[in-house]
Chain A
Amino acid sequence: MPSFLFVIGITACVCLFPGTAFSKSTHDNDYLVELQQQARQLKLHEQRVWHLLLKYKPRLLGGVVSEADGMDFFNAPDGKTNPESELAATLAGFFLPADKPAADTEHPQCNFPARFKWLHQQLQFDATRLEIQACERLERWVSELDPVGVTLVFATYYLNNPASMFGHTLVRIDSRDRQGERKLTNYGANYAAIPDTDNPFLYAWRGLTGAFEGRFAIFPYYTKVQEYNNLESRDLWEYELDFTEAQLNTMLLHLWELGGTYFDYYYFQENCSYHVLSLFEIARPELRLKDQFFFSVIPADTVKIVMAQDNLVKKVVYRPSIVSVMNQKRHLMTSEQQRVFQAIAKEKILLDADEFTRLPDGTKTLLLDAYMDYLQYQSMRQHSDHEVKIPYPVLLARSRLQTDNAAHTPSLHFSSPPHPGHGADRFRIATGHNDREPFMEFAYRPAYHDLMARDAGYDKDSEIIFMDFKLRYFLESERVRLDQARFLSITALNPYDPLLFKPSWRFNFSVDTLRDRDCGYCNTFSGSYGRGIAYRPAFFSPLLLFSFLDLKTDFSGHLKRDYRLGGNAEIGMYYDFNEQLRIKLAGNYRVFVLGEHKRFFTTHAVTRYALTQNLDMRLEFNRYDHNNEGIFAVNYYF
């Protein structure tokens, strides 16, 4: 039993010493003082475990402060900032007579079982002098969950949603009798904000300033799978972790303590992934997972940290989304079958059409199964309240076809797990030459992924570049110029899919150099927004073609009338020779019709060779109107 240690501790004491009623308050007090002294001598309040239990973290100006914000979490009035008095008060709480707690509240021993367990280990409570309480609700909770494992679950990106590349993590508690094919029925634990507004501006503001309450919650894992896999169509990656049952018991007792409190939710620091890591640390205090994060905790990075620990991850399991499941089947179809399938999905032909009925049963099964996935995906996207949107005739037709076991359940991955991805920060150093002189280039950006980088671990068709600052030092004119500052640039390429059509789009907001002019590398504020199409011949084809039409504007004192506004048409391609080598070729035609008028071509050729997960080299040739430049760059990710 996982709850073994805990339950045995309690029952043994209760059974052995049924007559605890004899204890007198003075004796209690003596023993309490004794324990508090002992704790002080051992300096228990300075130990890492105590700080993990109370969520203490160092303050900038010395001292500590607990991340927990619900005051019920503490026993001492100054417990939020004072580990020592909190420890003394916690011990005192344990001496509260069994009949003392008010209605609907639990005894401190039952409210803080993880602290009780640890302090008991450190101080060896004498059960004749400290009445050990029976915690009925807690015991039922622990024995119902009965964990033999814990799994870190990472939800990948949405289709067509670059920002979701940041991902989301939650924890699955793997119970003893919910193994194997019953894994979906396990409980999940999630830390999430409880938003009180639908207004996006307020939402962002409150998320950043910690104005939302964040709480731990527990739910059947299958509800989350429905939500992520089916409703949002995000693949899940499950990292099954290796903890002993004793460690899991501690984690669970700690989770119980957390369940009763709340935290101010900080979108970037104290977010879902941060608190998930703290659960692992409490189970194995020697793990130092949170220490590596200073500014922000990106969910994918937490997976990398967990993956980097020795012997922590036992197994990685892929749980494809409904769209991925459908695409796995589509991938198996011949082009003729694809055509029939699309005709059915688009309701151009019915299931009694000759084109379908003449197919062999195996093919019909494949097509119908894919069709039902498609309908399920569509119905999830509409408001559908327990109503099956798969038409009854389709279900009936499928039920008359004998099951073709495992014939169409390939395990093709339509997303990649986050752990082999490159780091989010990037430092770049480059050397190049333009028509006049050689230059050196230094650049840094904190986030996140560009389309020329290795795409393992990322959505391979999306790009988010944030705060990418690039300086150039020109060797002959001995000048340092801000070459480019991309504040935010997002590209979502959505390869054309006749079934699930979505346009590609991109936008960019930056300070750039007016590269088509000879104005001494003068700068401009630049913004653009565009829509386009992309095309990939097959799901796993190395070729991706794209084309965009953008609205583009520049604001600069070096332009006549200080601005120009116009359009940009681009056509280009990406091609992967292998995992290391990728090229991009692209050409643009720009027409500025307002402000300063100008028409010109730009062309780009970029080659990337990835040396390791976090290091790549690039060779670039760019031509802007009549100005050329060539650059050799090395990018390091961390």
Chain B
Amino acid sequence: MSVLTPRARSVESKHTQVAIYSMGGEISSEQAVRGAIQMHSKRVWRFGLALSGASDVADDLLQSTCLRALERHHQVTSHDRLDSWLMTICRSIWLNEVRARSVRKAQALSVTPEADLIAPGNDSETNIFATEVFTQVMQLPEAQRETVVLVFVEGYSYREAAALLEVPIGTIMSRLSNARQKLKTVMQHEAADTVRRSGK
């Protein structure tokens, strides 16, 4: 297990969490939803950030998503994959209730990515690189950004992301390809830096 990459470990832990829900046959749907909220609040917030590009909107989206999920706990028939269910609710609230007003606001203020979310007051080389990657991802078009976060960050497979975002799997792959093209520059910088550091 020690050979797993960090990402693979994260994906594995996600499925372990799902297994915990599957085992608990006696917990009520409300308990399951409360547990899922507690377990996945960071992921829902990140998805809210990916959708909206703004941390204050991500805060609101997370709060609204959790309240909505709790209201609808009766609809939960399976305690598996409640994370996907929360993501779907979050995106639905974003598209139907928040997006129009947030995009107007963003255009008015021409907001830049909140790089301080990554490296608050720290200028080490690692943080500089992380800030560049973060900024690059946040500057992707919204469709690419949400796809990158779901697949690269949260470990959803292409088909899971396709189901969640209600697009064909081919669309997911082409969005990721376009995103990779834009991220290439900063990644090549990192590769060059790595070579330079190892050459010292």
A-B interaction? no
